[in-house]
Amino acid sequence: MNPRGAPGRLQLTSRAVSGLLVGALLGVMLAVALLSRMGDLGADPQEPSSGARTDRAREAIDRHHCSPSGFGDGTIPASALIRTGTGDLLLVSFDRGWQVHQDEESAAELVAVCLEDLPPGVTQKRP
């Protein structure tokens, strides 16, 4: 016999199932978080992340007085930043940067145009 106020079998079963579901959900969430973190840690150290590439590009843009969208005031750029097909960032002549921009089959891409000129006799350099 079940005295008044004591939980019934159905109520205990319901609480147990609820507890198991909440525990399972938390376990899945923890597993997903750990797996995504392990994926970040297991990234190839030779391959910079897109965030690192973006940071390097931003630093080079600032250092060489560049603009990803050009200079709207009619200023003629002296050089350009390009990213090669292998992911290297290079400061090149404006003419070379424009060739990269126009060549749809090129693995390289134009990142920005710059006001800073290359030193005499230098055709490209790492920013």
CA gap 91, 63 in Å, rounded: 11
User: What would the pLDDT profile of 32-70 be if each residue is shown by its tens digit?
Assistant: 666 666 555 444 444 445 566 678 889 999 999 999 998
For residue 52, give both structure tokens: 């690192």
Could you tell me the sign of the dihedral formed by the alpha carbons of 110, 111, 117, 119, in that order?
A: negative
Backbone angles phi, psi at 55, to 5 degrees: -65, -45
Which span out of 19-23, 42-46, 115-119 was modeled with the highest average pLDDT? 115-119
User: What would the pLDDT profile of 94-106 be if each residue is shown by its tens digit?
Assistant: 999 999 999 988 8
CA gap 82, 70 in Å, rounded: 14
* Domain definitions of the chain by residue range: 7-42, 50-125
